[in-house]
Chain A
């Protein structure tokens, strides 16, 4: 597992797994879209709009997962002085921002026919919007500091402070009465979703994960090269 903290080991492993991951993501996307458009049933209330879920839910999960991994890497990088964590933070923040943006846009497209509005100020929606702004602040901080050593550590500290928002996003549907529905899958008891809808959701989650890993590999490799040549 040394490739997760060592740039040169990471480069070796990344060269091996980049193409398989990309092909796997394409296959999973084809399979998942086939499942979600043709092989899954309509909802008895929502009709065909329930298929937005197969984009909305995976991107939301991955937006949270990306921030959680960035928090872990910030702790590792600050505590054990491992610079790969800083490389990871710089490279991965735009991916998380894009996942959050996909989640917000697909959610508002889903909210218009179901709730009758593009946007409501309820706890889940607001906290996800704050998550998006935190991602944007991380990106802007990466762009606006001139000294690299200060920049990466300050961004790591900011990620640690901003991770306060993660439990708020996750538990906002339990703590407050929200229009957004409470958790149906990621809870302690048995998931209250039908297996025929669960299958395409899981496939689409893995497809999003694989495409995210593929882009992350590209961006981390670029970041390592630019650091070696002292560009930034």
Chain B
């Protein structure tokens, strides 16, 4: 029961932190829309062309804007010592990684779900594709959260070159992009492709606590 209380208070703290910093998440979403405008200005307002390229543009920009918020993933808690306090309270580092991944998914990635229908209207994507985009984004964004946890925990002690973390996430998200775009373009293959995405999710979710926990432990020991 005590551990459950601790988990609830952890999420209450995350909720308050994210609520006070809600303008950061809103800025991410605005970045997403502004990039859509830039894309449309650069390829021209041709409706046919936009509806062909639309899904790819949405996925690319979702990936880019979710890498923007990676710096906040562990860095604040690491700098003010909260990670160490959580560990002293009985959470193992791997468990902290799992909790933080869920909290990143809930408080950073889920608000993007609101922006997807608006983006579909702007980019001329039809309604039946919107459902597939939604499903693939829910699964794919959780994979992105796991990858973000791995890469930002790797770069905790790296003060000089933080862009490396975004590059790591982007290089490992290549299969997600391939299969998510595949879901939308081939409706009859939906079940098999979403199973592959779920498989990737399980692999990444299994690697995540191990790798991030080890990196967190290293950084805290050597700080």
Contacts and interface: CB of A to CB of B under 8 A. Distances in A.
Nearest to A157: B211
Interface secondary structure of B, over-half rule:
helix
Contact of A144 (B160, B214, B218): B160
A206 to B, nearest CB: 32
Contact of B214 (A126, A137, A153): A153
A145 interface: yes
Interface in B88-147: none
B218 A153 contact: yes
A181 B106 CA distance: 45
Nearest to A78: B214
Contacts of B26: none
A133 interface: yes
A149 B154 contact: no
A151 B161 CA distance: 13
A61 interface: no
Of the listed residues B157, B160, B167, the one surrounded by the most CB atoms of chain A closer than 10 A to its CB is B157
Nearest to A144: B161
B171 A134 contact: yes
Nearest to A152: B218
Nearest to A143: B161
Contact residue range for chain B? 20 to 34
A193 interface: no
Contacts of A133: 167, 171
Given A154-B215, A157-B211, A145 B171 contact: no
Interface in B158-191: 158-161, 164, 167-168, 171-172, 174
Contact of B168 (A137, A143, A147): A137
Nearest to B150: A161
A130 interface: yes
A150 B168 contact: no
A140 interface: yes
B222 A154 contact: no
Contact residue range for chain A? 20 to 34
B161 to A, nearest CB: 4
Interface string B179-223: 000000000000000000000000000010001001100110010
Nearest to B203: A164
A141 B168 CA distance: 11
Contacts of A194: none
A158 B157 CA distance: 15
A210 to B, nearest CB: 32
Contacts of A160: 211
A31 B44 CA distance: 58
Interface of A: 126, 130, 133-134, 137, 140-141, 143-147, 149-151, 153-154, 157-158, 160-161
List the 6 closest pairs (A to B, CB-CB), nearest first. A144-B161, A150-B157, A154-B154, A144-B160, A150-B222, A150-B218
